[in-house]
Amino acid sequence: MRKSIRYLVPLMIMLMAVMLSGCGDQYLVLDPKGPIGESQKDLIWITVWLCAIILVPVLILTAYIIWRYRDKKGNKAGYQPNWEHSTKLETIWWAIPIIIIAILATVTIKYTYDLEPSKPLESAKEPITIEATSLDWKWLFTYPDEGISTVNYVQIPEDTPIRFRVTADQAMNSFWIPQLGGQIYAMSGMAMTLYLQADELGTYFGSGANFTGEQFAKMTFDVKATSDADYKSWVESVKSSAPALTEEGFEQLKQPGSSDQQFFSAFPKGLFDQVVTQYVGENGAKAPHSGEKSGPIHDAEGGHDTNSPTNSSSSSELSSMTGMEASAHTAQE
Residues 6+ apart with CB under 8 A from 155: 223, 224, 225, 226, 231, 234
Predicted model pTM: 0.74
Residue 91 has a pLDDT of: 92
Q: How many CB atoms lie within 10 A of CB 70?
A: 9
Q: Which residues pair with 226 in a beta bridge?
A: 157
Which of 137, 150, 180, 158 has its CA nearest to residue 33? 180
**DSSP percent split of the chain into helix, strand, coil, nearest 5:** 40, 20, 40
pLDDT of residue 23: 53
Region of residue 230 (left: phi > 0; alpha: psi -120 to 50; beta: else): alpha
Count Cα neighbours of 253 within 13 Å in the Cβ-side half-sphere.
27
**pLDDT of 174 higher than 70:** yes
Q: In what order do the strands lie in the sheet with 202-208?
A: 153-157, 220-226, 202-208, 173-176, 184-186
Residue 156 confidence (pLDDT) above 90:
yes
Helix, strand or coil, per DSSP, at residue 145: coil
Q: Which residues pair with 154 in a beta bridge?
A: 223
pLDDT at 302: 36
The beta-strand segments (E) located in the chain are 128-135, 138-143, 148-151, 153-157, 162-168, 173-176, 184-186, 192-196, 202-208, 220-226, 262-264
Res 284: pLDDT: 62
Grouping H, G, I as helix, E, B as strand and the rest as coil, residue 193 is strand
- The number of beta carbons lying within 10 Å of the beta carbon of residue 172 is 15
How distant is the alpha carbon of residue 58 from its chain centre?
33
Q: What is the pLDDT of residue 73?
A: 79
Query: Which of these, 209, 210, 213, lies nearest to 29 by C-alpha position?
Result: 209
50-98 tens-digit pLDDT: 999 989 989 999 999 888 777 777 777 666 667 677 888 889 889 988 9
Lowest mean per-residue pLDDT among 124-128, 266-270, 281-285, 304-308:
304-308
Say what angle helices 87-114 and 35-68 make with each other, to 10 degrees: 160
Please, which residues have CB within 8 angstroms of residue 7's CB and are 6 or more apart in sequence? Answer: none
Q: How far does Cα 312 stand from its chain's mean position?
A: 35
pLDDT of 7 reads 61
**Residue 147 vs residues 23, 142, 298: alpha-carbon distances, Å:** 40, 7, 17
CA dist 121 and 118 (Å) reads 9
- Pairing mode, strands 262-264 and 148-151: antiparallel
Distant-in-sequence, close-in-space partners of 194: CB < 8 Å, separation ≥ 6? 117, 118, 163, 164, 166, 175, 181, 184, 330
pLDDT (average), residues 5-21: 65
What whole-number distance in Å separates Cα of residue 6 and Cα of residue 67? 12
Give residue 93's pLDDT.
84
199 contacts 158 by C-beta, under 8 angstroms: yes
3-class SS of residue 125: coil
Q: Render pLDDT for 277-319 as a digit per residue (tens, 0 to 9).
A: 998 876 666 665 544 443 333 343 433 333 333 333 433 443 4
User: Is residue 283 helix, strand or coil?
Assistant: helix
